[in-house]
Structure 1
Amino acid sequence: MKSILENKTENYLLPFFWQHDGHDAEIPARVQKIYESGCRAFCVESRPYEHFCEDAWWKTMDIILAEAEKRGMRVWILDDKHFPTGYANGILEHEDLNLRRKFLRESHVDVMGPMAEASVLVPMHTPEEKLVSAVLFRRTGKDEELTGEPIELDVQSEDKFVYFSVPEGLYRVFFVFETFSGEENKKYYIDMLSKESVHKLIEAVYEPHYDHYAKYFGNTLAGFFSDEPGFDAPHFGMTGYDTGIYNRSVGQPGVMLPWRDAAAVHMAKDGIDEPTLYLPILWYAHDELTAEIRLAYMGAVTLLWKENFSYPLGDWCRAHGVQYIGHLIEGMNAHARLGCSAGHYFRGLDGQDMSGIDIVLHQVMPGMADYKTAALVSGGMVDGEFFHYVLGQLAASHARQNPNMNGRAMCEVFGAYGWAEGANVMKWLMDFLLVRGVNHFVPHAFDDFFPDRDCPPHFGADGNDPQFAGFTQLMHYVNRAAHYLYGTEMEASGAILYHAEAEWMDKSSAMLTQKPAKACYDAQISYDIVPLDYLETAEKNNGRFGRGYKYLVVPACRKLPERFAKICEALKNAGVPVFFVDYAPDCVNISENEIVPLQKLAAHIKESGLAHEYNAKEHLLRIAKFTRGEATSFFVFNEAPNAVQETLSLPVSGKYIATDLLNGVYTRGETADGTVELALEAEQSVILIFGGATEDEWAGFPEKSEGLHMAEIETLWDIDLRETGKETEFKPFRKNSKLFNITGKNGETEFSGEMRYKTKLNINDTAHVELEFENVGVTAQLFVNGKDMGQRICRPYRWDITEAVKAGENDVEVFVCNTLAQRMQDFFSTYMTLPASGITGKVRLFVQ
């Protein structure tokens, strides 16, 4: 708190700074704008830069690094010519074909026996494709289910026919080919299963940057950022039905599956003899072997990713004095699948120095946790349960469980919401992340020219963004809040098992992690998400495990690996209860009282004395407990779309400081029994700090003003307008006007800029005076008698104006800024609600 009050915080912000060919002249001013926003680092992305890693790029980077060094800023580099990471600047177009991605595809035909000396045509395939196996499986007659052991067929790739005898019954002949034919636009992407292939990314991008800028590594140059690498398993042919990129994984006919011979070696280590003969089970269920084969395969490819992609990149960076960060595509449960992600969130990022997620494209919308909502993503809809109850916790959990990450949890945020994303929405999103334990941020994005139709908003917008002052205030707030919270111990009363293995083994019976997560979080029960890998190695004793988790929640599933049974036994022996939601996997023997219905889970945890009861009435009130030294803090954020009044029961008592780090308002309070009354508007948050301050320090903060009398003010306003980036002077708009929506049907519908309001208020009681506007669209800066009272970027739009008012007539001037959406009318903004522009609703005075 002392460093915050003295404006000596560290930096936790590294926004994207997009580079396009031919804009070098603009770079110094753009870097200065990033600095002015409060960000002390940025991540350079070529989006796209035609001559990436060529002479023109080094000239651009020379300017960028020099400008950053001049200002004491740090620079990160997105590690490829364009996202998603994996193109390796096109190096594989000129390399050994074997370094490119490999997939498995299958072709089959059904045959009825008995039939002696039968034959079928070997399916058509290219000379590049290799026949991995040809087998015969019996069919059960239940859908396309297989049974029994595979019968290996004698066939070579060059054969045109395969000859065999068919036993009695219906059989399916499978041909499994290794192929390079993935998505056409990614045919030269590296293979994350091959260390040799991944090294080509290092060779093409990492090493050239080190060769040019070794002197900056570890100081001005902070590290590299991988953006959305994935297996990118495509759907092929007419087999099955494509369920979309988020859903492609094992168990889906028609999906090509990532492959290297090393995967078969891994599968053999997991007890699968001759694994290539069992590959058809990756697409079609077997009455006995489905779970075993699919677990072995998914375990193999996700561990190969971790060993050959994530750790080699991270190790290279650490060996060169910099850090490695980034994120996968997590959305819509893709994180545990193969379509556009890495099959396992934790393994996919384990070699990094920060965990990572992103919130873009309207994935999280304020107040909509209970709903599926429209968004500009595949399918046009996002699942609120995943994004509100799992996404942030994945990042925070991984950061605290992985020693390399040391608590650093990163989120790329704001991108592609459109110009309609005002500072109030951005502030809501930041609090959404902070309260979940995320503490490093990549705002998306600064651009090197305007206008750019590519995924706005672009901060500053070459002087055209009315929201830039609000964005700047927000960035300073985030640095203060992250500085306070980073390094604390964030409470997680228990842990919820990550659902990846359960879904791989039997998707039909596997409950997603977000189901118990929502049940807990809506009851203000804190949790981390833990994978089996962590559970296996975590210490277990004295009723706790890992980071001090007091219980484990297992989402409903019928299948989990056998190793879970040993983990479960060890937890119970250590006195840690395990709660199985709805039903348990068949690998464990449990008593009936260990099964907990989902709808009773939260109550059961509290009744067992394993989580604190805050007695909050609003389920969208989020409460996070942080400890550091003698201080215990509670970050309380109202995610609901309505104001709340709560009498919270905290697990501590005594003197506290209530901090509004956004507006720099601090008050002291005291509670004898832990009861604290809070009134929070929608979008509002507060940090309550108990302990860590001396008596004199605590007494130095003012008491919260109580018993104020509210009066609604009826006054008329003079309103002037100035279009940001187009006009230098305000133009008169209305005189002696009531308040109304400036961009409403009867106003200036396409106006984006500043709205100046002037009036005079008669105030008699001046001992303590506060002024509040009910609605503002979007940011407001208040002057009273010429004194700057500060800017508000979200509710409540309320100022303590005591030091500026005088008895009698007072001059009031308000500068309000809306967003660029009215002028730009971009496609992304069609998914956002545009609030009324200017001041609307009631004006209130609060006096002693």
Structure 2
Amino acid sequence: MHNFKPIPFYFINTTDPAALSREACRKAMQDLAENGYGGCVLFNKPPTGFDEKLYLTDFWFDTLENFIIPARELGLEIWINDGFDYPPGDAAGRIKAENPDLVQQRLRLNAQGVAEVVDTEWGFPAFELPESSELFIKYVYEAHKQRLGKYFGNGIYGFFSDCDNRRINAFTIRSLEDGRYYPWSKNFQAEFIQRRGYDITPYLSDILHDRAPEQSADYYQVAGELYRQWFANNHAWCQRNNLKYTFHTSDTGPLTAQFCRRTSLVSEGDAMELLFHSDFPGTDHEIGLLDSGIHYDARYRIARKLWGTPGRGSYQDFGDTLCDVRAKYAASAAFMLEKKAGKNASADGPRTMCEMFAATNFGTDFQELRRIAMWQVMMGVNFIIPHAVHHRFYGSTKYFAPPEFLHGALRNGVKEFNELLARACEIASRGKYLAGVAVIDPAENIWRHDRAASGKLLAICDLLNRSAVGYVVVTRKDAELYGRDFAMVIDPAEFTGALALETLPGSDVSFNGGDLAYMRRWSESDGEFLIACNLWSDCELSGMLNYAQKQYNIALAPGEYAVLGGGKLESYRSAASQKTVCTLPLTAKVEYLADQRIPLEVPAQQNLQGSESVYEFVWNNQTAVSALTLEWSRQFQGKIYCDDCEIKAERQLNIFDDPYNSAQLPESVSAMGVHKIKVCGELSTTEPIYLAGDVAVTIWADSAVTGRAIHGTYNLTVEEPKRIVMDLEPRKPELVCALPLAMQGNIFYDGAVVFKWDIDLAEPAGYIDLGKTSGVCDIFLDGVKVQRSIVQAGALPLEIAAGKHTLEIKLYGSLGLLLEGGNGKIQLGQVLLKK
């Protein structure tokens, strides 16, 4: 039976022996199990993890064993990332040391417009060269087998390759003359002649000028054949050694180079044929959108956020999925692998892997993450690898493609979220996927310079995604071999803009409340059933859904799904009206469970005194405030002054896993008026100085920016205002529901707030409706925890007798507020009690 629980990347980001002892690793694995994870992918994470010298030494293997043994006892599934970091290939420099000639090559047009071969400055070694694969298996797989082979299939489940698009990324693409990568290798010419029977070199200039269509198709096909042999060899080795193998590349789908400069169709070849070289075909989802393919194509842009202002640095087109077929391709490969296996297919059905949630940032919440996950699940993903859990949460790795799930605010609710994901994957894997349509992959047409083919494929998939007609994408060869197994085979080259789906199974499904995504399945135990999900709307959808000659009155919040049919499997929420028994006051008494930390990241003044940097941070106490504390990294070497009084450490603490000093500021600093912190020394970009206290913060930020990014990554830019005014005052004893906490003096607060009401019900209530809440909530009735809410799902069951009660709702904060300059949308909605 498949393990459908999420299996996260687990970053080994320290080499402290005490932190990697058997007991420390056992505690870490217990923490995973208790929070609903089914295992993990052990993943070295420089610069604080193992360096090139320590990687693949006895210390590395002893560390893995310290994780493997307790994980096995706990029934957790352990995978090993096969790279030193990502992407894999060079075994931490060992392959380059043995054979530096395995350099990757590419083609480019010279000044005369003639194709020439050049070495690349990245991506060592070339996957096209057989020796690259041989040495990788020798230094990585065989070394793991020698030390840990006794755990293969008995503690270690498999290897994972985090292979990003031939190592072409937003940085290396700048060195490509026209933004495109044209594959080549030292063995290309000879291999091409052997495989196609003619010499490709006379046609290379024409191919790079988008001419010679037939030779162009041959060129890209052979390029893909050579490239994917590295993956095929890994897969074959794993099969021989009782291990599973999965990977993803920077698969973009069949996008043209004109639309997507980094298209994998050019740099990696045939996506379907590549995906076949795994047990669980995989893909990757990054950034806070349903369509993570934007990360690669012409639409790409970075979300922006102004430091110190409330709101979420996000994208308005969150629900646009027209150009995203990445998960559908991976799921189609898994479907076809099972079909080709015939009687030898797994009794548990195919699995499709997706690395998920990277770079959605600290400001995300489970509501947003559920929508992202369900988009992937509805496309066929049923093996989720969340990015990420850190062994220690500290230093620069804190900011690597967040969020992190066990050391910050998301820890509250992650168990329930993992259970939600596991259930969705299990439901969406039961029995057989009913695919009545096969859509032919247009790769060969695009290689022949048919620029319309890509758009036609995307349009077809979008139409099918919004219908209940199941479909898969197949190669042209598989369409010929297995076309009879489908009710309809669609060739995008012949698509005219409409599909005749009226006679196909699933075409009778309709819903009058908006667009839903559907998945039809059948199993021997459940019969046929339909999964319907609200993916594209930001609002709840409700109405009548017709399926299997029945009418269902359903309501679906964004990201919520219903199961219709399937006997006992059936589960859905009705749009039936509920009577409101009590509308709780919008303004409620509150209790703050922690001080607010203010990151001193935007100085009012910065100058040089000799060779020393000096930063000044100024704020205004609008009234007298309670005692304030200053916290700074123990790595800081300079001096700190407050109102011209030097501040010295009084105690030590950890903020997350970063070691900090702390000192209470003089009593005079709490007085009304203007105060100043002066820092003489270099500031850290990852361990800021914090001003902390039981205070409310109001930031008046200039909309003009300095051009300096306080935090800058490929997924979020937090911009520095040219001018800010920071006011402090005592925290408000009451807060307003349906208004973000950040707009009520809590712009940086990542802790919890408890909202409190005394209620007197004239009649009993059976439900509580939290409205448009963002964040995790624990609900307490008369001092007893009775419910937890992590996502929007309509009114929640809550039996309350008539009479007097105390109702408390504990709302957890967001790390985005603290670590991304106020990036988040945490709020409690309007609370209603219903029956």
TM-score interval for Structure 1 and Structure 2 normalised by the shorter chain? 0.7 to 0.9
For the Cα contact (< 8 Å) 1:354–1:408, is it kept in 2? yes
- Deviation digits for residues 345-378 of structure 1 (CA, Å, limit 9, x no counterpart): 1122221110111111234279x99x9674469x
Partner of 2:788: 791
The residue aligned with 1:362 is 288
Identify the residue that residue 416 of structure 1 maps to in structure 2: 359
CA distance in 1, matches of 2:173, 2:572: 71
- Say yes or no: does 1:296 pair with 2:218: yes
Distance in 2 separating the partners of 1:102 and 1:241: 12
Q: Is the 8 A contact 2:291 2:324 kept in 1?
A: no
Contact 1:721 1:754 (8 Å CA) reproduced: yes
- Counterpart selection for 1:718 from 573, 583, 589: 589
Shift in Å at residue 36 of structure 1? Answer: 1.9
Contact 1:385 1:515 in 2 (8 A): no
Match of 1:811 in 2: 806
Query: 1 CA distance for matches of 2:514 and 2:323?
Result: 13
| Residue in structure 2 matched with residue 133 of structure 1 by the alignment | none
1:635 to 531, 537, 542: 531
What are the ranges of 5 or more consecutive residues in structure 2 without an aligned counterpart?
305-314, 596-653, 657-692, 696-729
- Cα distance, 1:105 vs. partner? 4.7
Q: Is the 8 A contact 2:89 2:136 kept in 1?
A: yes
- Structure 2 CA distance for partners of 1:745 and 1:312, relative to 1, 3 Å: same
Q: Offset at 1:267?
A: 5.1
**Distance apart, 1:498 and its partner CA:** 1.4
Pairing partner for 2:403 from 421, 444, 457: 457
Q: 1:764: Cα distance to partner?
A: 3.1
Query: Relative to structure 1, is the Cα distance of residues 736 and 421 closer, same or farther in structure 2, using a 3 angstrom cutoff?
Result: closer
| Larger CA deviation: 232-241 vs 426-435 | 232-241
1:793 Cα offset (Å): 0.9
CA 1:97–1:387 in structure 2 vs 1: closer, same or farther (change >3 Å)? farther
1:469 equivalenced with 2:412 (yes/no): yes
Q: Does 1:777 align with 2:774?
A: yes
Structure 2 equivalent of residue 646 of structure 1? 543
Deviation readout 1:151-175 (Å, 9 max, x if unpaired): xxxxxxxxxxxxxxxxxxxxxxx5x
Q: Give the corresponding residue for 1:130.
A: none
Change (3 A) 1:256 1:648: closer
2:562 touches 2:573 (CA, 8 Å); kept in 1? Answer: no
1:686 to 562, 570, 586: 562
Question: Matched residues in 1 for 2:174 and 2:759: separation?
Answer: 74
Q: Deviations over 1:741-771 (max 9, x none)?
A: 36333322111121112212222333x6211
Aligned residue for 2:752, secondary structure, equals strand
Taking a change above 3 Å as real, the CA distance of residues 482 and 178 of structure 1, as seen in their structure-2 partners, is same
Partner of 1:76: 79
After superposition, residues 94-243 of structure 1 pair within 5 angstroms as 94-105=97-108, 107=110, 109=112, 174=114, 178-179=117-118, 181-182=119-120, 184-186=121-123, 189-231=124-166, 242-243=177-178
Q: Distance in 2 between matches of 1:480 and 1:293?
A: 48
- Residue in 1 aligned with 2:187? 261
**C-alpha spacing 1:267/1:764, structure 2 compared with 1 (3 Å):** farther
Matched residue of 2:427: which SS?
helix
Question: 1:846 aligns to what?
Answer: 834
Please state whether the residue corresponding to 2:127 is helix, strand or coil.
coil
| TM-score, normalization by structure 1 | 0.71
Asked if the contact 2:192/2:200 (under 8 Å) is kept, the reply is: no
Count of matched residue pairs: 665
| Superposition map of 1:725-804 within 5 A | 734-735=732-733, 738-739=736-737, 741=739, 743-766=741-764, 769-796=766-793, 798-802=795-799
1:528-677 maps to which residues of 2 (within 5 A)?
A: 528-538=472-482, 540-541=483-484, 545=485, 549-556=486-493, 580-581=494-495, 597-598=496-497, 600-601=498-499, 604-606=500-502, 608-609=503-504, 611-617=506-512, 620-631=515-526, 632-639=528-535, 640-650=537-547, 652=548, 673-677=549-553
Looking at structure 2, the residues matched to 297 and 460 of structure 1 have their Cα atoms a distance apart, in angstroms, of 47
The partner residue of 1:10 within 3, 11, 27 is: 3
The alpha-carbon distance between structure 1 residues 634 and 516, as it changes in their structure 2 partners (threshold 3 A), is same
Letter in 2 for 1:319: R
1:329 aligns with 2:250: yes
Residues 47-94 of structure 1: CA distance to partner in whole angstroms, max 9, x if unpaired? 122021123312322322233233222211111112112223222322
Match among 305, 308, 324 for residue 227 of structure 2 = 305
Q: 1:504 aligns with which of 444, 447, 464?
A: 447
Q: Name the aligned partner's letter for residue 429 of structure 1.
A: I
String of CA shifts for 1:493-520, please: whole Å, max 9, x gaps: 3122212111111143433321221123
The answer (yes or no) to whether the contact 2:467–2:517 under 8 Å persists in 1 is no
2:41 to 40, 43, 48: 43
CA distance in 1, matches of 2:172, 2:758: 73
Distance 1:730 1:66, change over 3 A: farther
* Larger CA Rg, structure 1 vs 2: 1
Q: Distance in 1 between matches of 2:351 and 2:299?
A: 30
The residue type paired with residue 633 of structure 1 is F
Distance 1:792 1:275 in 2: 61
Partner of 1:594: none
- Shift of the alpha carbon at 1:25? 3.1
Counterpart contact for 1:355–1:409, Cα < 8 Å: yes
SS in 1 for 2:350: coil
Letter in 2 for 1:418: N
Give the distance between the partners of 2:436 and 2:61, measured in 1 at CA: 50
Aligned AA for 1:82? Answer: D
- Please report how far the alpha carbon of residue 339 of structure 1 lies from its aligned counterpart in structure 2 after TM superposition: 8.5
Contact 2:430–2:522 at 8 Å: present in 1 too? no
Q: 1:629: how far off?
A: 0.9
Change (3 A) 1:32 1:473: same
Matched, 1:60 2:55: no
SS state at 2:834 partner? strand
2:710 corresponds in structure 1 to: none
Q: What's the % identity of the aligned pairs?
A: 18
Q: Over residues 194-215 of structure 1, what are the superposed CA-to-partner deviations in whole Å (9 max), with x where a residue is unaligned?
A: 3332111111111111111011
Asked whether the equivalents of residues 117 and 184 of structure 2 are also in contact (C-alpha less than 8 Å), the reply is no
The higher relative CO (CA closer than 8 Å, separation ≥ 6) is in 2
2:519 equivalent to 1:522: no
Find the residue that maps to 1:442 and give its secondary structure: strand
Contact 1:74 1:219 in 2 (8 A): no
**In 2, distance between residues paired with 1:783 and 1:469?**
15
Name the SS for the 1:511 alignment partner.
Answer: helix
Query: One-letter code of the match for 1:838?
Result: Q
Corresponding residue for 1:708? 578
CA offset at residue 486 of structure 1?
Answer: 2.2
Q: CA deviation at 1:408?
A: 0.7
1:346–1:619: structure 2 CA closer, same or farther, 3 Å change rule? farther
Shift of 1:443: 0.4
